[in-house]
Amino acid sequence: MNWHQWQEIIGVTGVFVLITVVLSIAIVQLASTWRAKAALARESEYRNLAEKAVRTQEETGRQLKDVQDRLRSIEHVLREVD
């Protein structure tokens, strides 16, 4: 093999390695971007779930207070009847 053939082999190998490295980096970056978007969506869903749980607890607390008020009223009426 002469010198020009070796240069061509080295050049083709270098281009192949360069393309492989660039594609690998692009794939890794895309994968990390997709993971970040998935994590963000998951956190948003957890936040919505937590807000819904807080609203439900507040509503339950109001309903409990209403039931307690009604029970006191009934107890008061029953004491007056006795």
Question: Does residue 82 register a pLDDT over 80?
Answer: no
Which residue type sits at 45?
A: E
Please report the pLDDT score of residue 74 as a whole number: 95
User: Has residue 21 got a pLDDT over 90?
Assistant: yes
Tens digits of per-residue pLDDT, 23-65? 999 999 999 999 999 999 999 999 999 999 999 999 999 999 9
pLDDT score at 25: 98
**pLDDT at 4 (0 to 100):** 84
